[in-house]
């Protein structure tokens, strides 16, 4: 199921968010699953048919080059108020130092 209705907000499934991030990064299921689980098992994770263990979930996030905080934000962003979204985006800047590459002081 792509979205579940919760009150007035649409809530994304765990697997849908993984798939969205994977596709956005241009990765195949095989690439993400390699060394973590089989491709068919990973496909089931994306379809929310099974849930990975916590360690496998962390390994998947590492392979996708995304922090737990970023994942949680993407998972919940549709149910956040505008103020909560801005606060989350501000705090996520700490996890994206490459955003500041052009703004670094030169010695």
**Higher-pLDDT residue of 35, 5:** 35
Q: For the chain, give the mean pLDDT.
A: 78
Closest residue by Cα to residue 14 from 49, 65, 62, 56: 49
Give yes or no for residue 100 having a pLDDT over 70: no
**Higher-pLDDT residue of 44, 103:** 44
Alpha-carbon span 60 to 55, nearest angstrom = 9
Q: Give the tens place of pLDDT for each residue, 10-28.
A: 446 889 999 999 999 999 9
pLDDT at 1 (0 to 100): 35
pLDDT at 3 (0 to 100): 37
Residue 20 tokens, joined: 């969205």
Task: For residue 36, name the pLDDT band (cuts at 50, 70, 90).
Answer: very high
- This prediction has a pTM of 0.65
């Amino acid at each position: 199921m792509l979205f579940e209705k919760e009150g007035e907000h649409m809530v994304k499934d765990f697997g849908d968010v993984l798939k969205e991030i994977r596709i956005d990064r241009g990765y195949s299921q095989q690439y993400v699953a390699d060394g973590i689980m089989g491709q068919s098992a990973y496909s089931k994770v994306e379809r929310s048919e099974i849930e990975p263990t916590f360690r496998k979930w962390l390994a998947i996030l590492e392979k996708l080059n995304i922090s737990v905080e970023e994942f949680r934000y993407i998972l919940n962003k549709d149910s956040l108020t505008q103020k909560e979204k801005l606060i989350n985006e501000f705090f996520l800047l700490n996890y994206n130092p490459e955003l500041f590459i052009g703004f670094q002081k030169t010695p």
